[in-house]
Amino acid sequence: MTDSPLAPYPTKKPSGLDWIGPIPQQWQVSRNGRLFSQRNETDRPELPVLEVSLKTGVRVRDLANGGRKQSMSDRSKYKVAHEGDIAYNMMRMWQGAVGVSPTDGLVSPAYVVAQPRPDQPPFFVPAGVTVPTPVHGDKAAA
């Protein structure tokens, strides 16, 4: 018996990748480039600043209540992450510095913003970027 509200898939097939293992028969394995495209939108200085954290993923940065304060005099060069986009620090992605944007906002110009392609269901994205296995898989390939 399982505690999960989701029913298990009755038939599985090999994924072709050892670190993933078997997958449900109707699923397919795809490269990230087929699921996401890079967003390079800028010049929206009115949006809130987002942070990408190892512990909390993507969230709105609280610039008013202490903590790290950083001077951002020219926000026009910051990248826009729309709600549901994935934002990550490419130098720390392998450690888990990645998350799904909870709202439209700005991230550092050095970060990567990936938008789900329109033909992809958005519901899988949060789980896919927070599962540790793919992160470690990227580390092994680096």
Model pLDDT for residues 94-105, shown as the tens digit of each residue:
777 888 899 999
Averaged over 42-67, what is the pLDDT?
83
The pLDDT value recorded for residue 4 is: 64
The pLDDT value recorded for residue 140 is: 46
The domain segmentation of the chain, as residue ranges, is 12-62+77-141
Model pLDDT for residues 6-47, shown as the tens digit of each residue:
778 889 999 998 888 898 998 888 887 788 889 999 999 999
The pLDDT value recorded for residue 41 is: 94
Greater model confidence, 17 or 127: 17
Class of domain 12-62+77-141: alpha beta
β-pairing, 36-38 vs 23-24, is unpaired
Q: Specify the DSSP element, H or E, that contains 24.
A: strand 23-24
Helices marked H in 1-142? 32-35, 125-130, 132-141
